[in-house]
Chains A and B, each alone.
Chain A
Amino acid sequence: MTVSATAPLKHAGSLFAFALDTGRATFRRPFQLKEFLQQAWFVASVTIIPTALVAIPFGAVIALQVGGLIKQFGAQAFTGSAAVLAVVREASPIATALLIAGAGGSAICADLGSRKIREELDAMMVLGIDPIQRLVVPRVLATMLVAFFLNGFVSVVGVMGGYVFNVVLQDGTPGSYIASFTALAHLPDLWQGQVKALVFGFIAAVVASYKGCNAGGGPKGVGDAVNQSVVITFMLLFVANFSMTAIYFQLVPPKGA
């Protein structure tokens, strides 16, 4: 088969169309509650432990970096505040998204892909059932839900990790770490983190489902689809993250500015 210059555009277009179909099917009844709960449980079960394990060193690294930097500036009183800001605004949604995409997304893609090559999805369509409504929508919503809670979880674990490292390793004062939390950070930071997590969850699940539903060429095709879905998700996540951060700073000015 010849590769044409417009092929990437075509894929981007059909991915976008798939996302729109998913959005439309979300409001079509009956809602697949059982599938939704099963998938939410499944995604949570494959992501919680790796996320916790990633979140602790993540918070610690930020605490070390920020702590060192802030010491050089002579502004130790703001260590806690800076660490909270970094974790809640950026680190936590990104860590959540990478794990959701890596652990949850790849599992979703493999599952749908193997159904696709076993012709289960075709059989479903022939039986008059829309696989997007039946299988994709519950997975996307479940992933978004889990991403939302996971983000909260990572924020807490990250901040706690930062606290431990700052207090134990960098001889920070426990009181000032906690007291400075609200010096720079404010509540909208948390909300935007949560919104980011929702959007990242949506992107990860839609890309994984799209790649899974379009897998072809036997078991190898499923492997390729999983691989591509993780790579594409990561790329989209970082673009989306940049845009959302830029918009957020326009909409909500930093505290005290």
Chain B
Amino acid sequence: MGVEVRVEGLTKSFGSQLIWGDVSLTLPAGEICVMLGPSGTGKSVFLKTLIGLIKPDRGHVWIEGTDIATCSERELYDVRRLFGVLFQDGAMFGSMNLYDNVAFPLREHTKKSESDIRSIVMEKMEMVGLVGAERKLPGEISGGMRKRAGLARALVLDPEILLVDEPDSGLDPVRTSFLNQVMIDLNEAFGATFLIVTHDINTARTVPDNIGMLYHRHLAMFGPREMLLSSEEPVIRQFLNAQMIGPIGMSEEKDADELAREIGQELPPLPPIPIQQLPSSGMLRPTQRPPGEWCRENGIVPPPGSFEAKAVGAR
């Protein structure tokens, strides 16, 4: 039923280049979190640090009392059983067909019979809509299918934590919405903790319970969705609304001249906060909060038109 991930003071640099420093946040058990950030801010590095593929320079990642950053190789392998990871291009094993790819973790880690494996694999394949493509090789199918197959493989061991690296890169908006719906339904059904790394604003605005944003080598903000969507903080506001006015420029940061030119320019008003995408059942997920609750509790007036059905926008 989901596991909490607590990150404390995480710092990573490659050579003398700091990727991000002093990142602290908690992924609450069973909730969906999205990590946002402009291209090249080390979102994927962050995700790989959480599963111990990359060792941080400083800091800790606590999962059920184990510190991923400092634990032994053996403990790491044990903790990784809790994880399912969907890599950017699906990372399917090129020499196996999709069925064998999805069955791979089961054959490696369980003593299940082939017929049990078959029923589990087919169930997951159906969940991601890949029935009929089991015998295809990863090289023969489209990027979207590879991604869905990767999701099926990440799911077969019923993970407690699911890390998803850019589910929307290279996917058309329709498939992205479907994939988002699949993830929301999975969260409802299994209650796993989700971390989705993306720079797709539509996904970030409508899917998660919490949003975090990496910018300029640090964690700019992490908190409930409504907190960030109603935030006046320039970086958050600029990114979540895809605006050109703000501190983010074409190359990471704008220089002083560019910023000076923007002084006095009217910021466009905050767009309304869309309704969070619901699971197919139409009911709130166990960890989902009713629309507007956070804003009411914290005395924030959401932008006009928020939480109305039409504000869902591109969805």
Contact = CB atoms under 8 A, between A and B. Distances in A.
B85 A126 contact: yes
Contact of A120 (B53, B85, B91): B91
Given A2-B16, A118-B91, A119-B89, A126 B108 contact: no
Given A1-B15, A122-B53, A127 B87 contact: no
Interface string B29-48: 00000000000000000001
B53 A128 contact: no
A123 B85 contact: yes
A127 B93 CA distance: 12
A119 B53 CA distance: 11
Interface residues of B, number: 24
Interface in A87-141: 115, 118-120, 122-129
Contact of A115 (B16, B53, B94): B94
Contact of A1 (B14, B83, B85, B92): B14
A127 B104 contact: yes
Nearest to A38: B95
A120 B87 CA distance: 9
A119 B87 contact: yes
B251 interface: no
Contact of A119 (B14, B83, B91, B105): B91
Q: How large is the interface on A (under 10, 10 to 19, 20 to 34, 35 or more residues)?
A: 10 to 19
B49 to A, nearest CB: 12
B288 to A, nearest CB: 28
B109 A120 contact: no
Contacts of A127: 80, 104-105, 108-109
Contact of B108 (A1, A118, A129): A129
Given A126-B83, A127-B105, A128-B109, A1 B89 contact: no
B48 A122 contact: yes
Q: Could you say which of B17, B48, B91 has the most chain A C-beta atoms within 10 Å of its C-beta?
A: B91
Contacts of A115: 94
Nearest to A3: B15
Interface string A1-43: 1100000000000000000000000000000000000000000
A118 B89 contact: yes
9 contacts: A118-B89, A118-B91, A119-B88, A119-B91, A122-B91, A123-B87, A127-B105, A128-B81, A128-B105
Interface of A: 1-2, 115, 118-120, 122-129
Given A119-B89, A122-B85, 8 more contacts: A1-B15, A2-B15, A120-B93, A123-B87, A123-B93, A125-B53, A126-B51, A126-B85
Interface of B: 14-17, 48, 51, 53, 77, 80-81, 83, 85, 87-89, 91-94, 104-105, 108-109, 150
Q: Which 5 interchain pairs have the tightest Cβ spacing?
A: A123-B91, A119-B91, A119-B87, A1-B15, A126-B85
